[in-house]
Amino acid sequence: MPRGKQESAEQIIPKLRVVEVEVARGKTVAESVKKIGVTEQTYYRWKKKFGGLRIDQAKRLKELEKENSRLKRLLADAELDEAILREVAEGKF
Q: 28 lies in a domain?
A: yes
Q: 1 lies in a domain?
A: no
Per-residue burial over 7-40, b if 16 or more Cβ lie within 10 Å, else e, is eebeebbebbeebeebeeeeeeeeebbeebebee
Q: 72 lies in a domain?
A: yes
**What pTM does this model have?**
0.60
Q: 20 lies in a domain?
A: yes
Q: 46 lies in a domain?
A: yes
Tens of each residue's pLDDT in the chain, 93 residues: 456 678 888 899 999 999 999 999 999 999 999 999 999 999 999 999 888 878 888 888 889 999 999 999 999 999 999 999 999 998 876
Q: 84 lies in a domain?
A: yes
Q: For the chain, how many structural domains are there in total?
A: 1
Q: 3 lies in a domain?
A: no
Is 70 exposed, middle or buried (CB count within 10 Å of its CB: 0-12, 13-18, 19+)?
exposed
pLDDT digits (tens, 9 = 90+) for 50-59: 888 788 888 8
Residue 38 region, left (φ>0) first, then alpha (ψ -120 to 50), else beta? beta
Q: What is the DSSP letter of 24?
A: H
Residue 93: the pLDDT is 63
Residue 19: the pLDDT is 94
Q: 78 lies in a domain?
A: yes
Domain that holds residue 62: 9-89
